[in-house]
A = this chain, B = another copy of it.
Amino acid sequence: MKQITKHNIRNSLRRIFLYHGLLVRLNTMGVTRVFSYTLAEGAGVTPEQVRKDFSEYRIRGNRRGGYLTVTLLSEMETLFNRDRISNVILVGMGNLGQALSKYGQFIQRGINIVASFDIDPYKQKARADSNVYPPGRLQEIIERFRVTIAIITVPDISAQEVCNDLVNMGIRGIVNFSPVLLKVPVYVVVNNVNLSDEIESVVMSVSRMKEE
C-alpha cells in the first residue's frame, strides 16, 4: 500500500451535480422545460459552460426547444449510476458520524447507510434501532450488504489505520472527513472533505476583502 491517489472529480461533473440539484427543484415546481441559460443562471455560470458540460457527458437537448426536465433528470441519474441504491457504511459514530447517519435525505440520492461502526461500546448500543456495530463485524457486514463505499469520521490518529483495514476488506471508495490525506492504492477512490478548511477559507477571504 504505497501509492497515493488524488481523486478530485472533474469540475464539469461537480457542476453537473449542481445543475441536477436545480433541476430537481424546478421539476417539483412544475417546470417541464429548461434552457441552458436557466441552469446557468441558477448555477452562477455561463450558458455555454452548461452546454459544454453536457456535451462532455453526451447529454443532448433539442435545438430551439431546450431540454425536457424529466429527460435531463433521468439522463443525469443514469450518469450518476443512480438507477440502483448504493449501500454505504460509516466508521466513527461521534459528533459528525451521528449527524450524517441521522440525515434522512441521503436515500433520495441513492445513498443508503446500512451500518455504522465504533470502537466505543457505549456508542454501539446507544440506540436499539440504529445499526451500530463493533469494528470486529466489519468484514461480515461488508460482505452481507456488498458494500464498496465507506465514510470515515474517526479522529485523525485512527483514520489511516481504519482506511487500511477497509481497503483490505474490499472497500473501493472512501469519503474521509478526518483532517488527514489518506494514502490508498490506485484502485481506491478517496474524497477528502475538510470542514475546517471550508470554514477557514471563508474567514480568510472576508479578512482579505476588508483590507482592500
Instruction: List the interface of chain A (C-beta within 8 A of B).
Output: 4-7, 9, 13-14, 17-18, 21-22, 25, 41-45, 79-82, 86, 88, 95-96, 98-100, 102-103, 105-106, 109-111, 148-149, 151, 172-175, 179-181, 187, 189-191, 193-210
Chain B residues, CB < 8 A from A13:
201, 204
Asked whether A14 lies within 8 Å of B193 as measured between CB atoms, the reply is no
With a CB–CB cut-off of 8 A, which chain B residues contact A110?
A: 200, 203
- Is the CB–CB distance between A189 and B175 below 8 Å? no
- Contacts A6-B44, A193-B195, A195-B193; A203 near B86 (Cβ below 8 A): yes
Contact partners of A180 in chain B: CB under 8 A: 21, 25
Q: With contacts A18-B197, A21-B181, A95-B102 known, what are 15 further pairs, Cβ within 8 A?
A: A4-B41, A7-B202, A17-B200, A88-B199, A88-B203, A96-B99, A106-B199, A109-B196, A109-B199, A109-B200, A173-B203, A173-B205, A187-B209, A189-B206, A190-B202
**A193 vs B198: C-alpha distance when bound (angstroms):** 8
Do the beta carbons of A173 and B202 come within 8 Å of each other? yes
Distance (whole angstroms) from the CB of A72 to the closest CB of chain B: 17
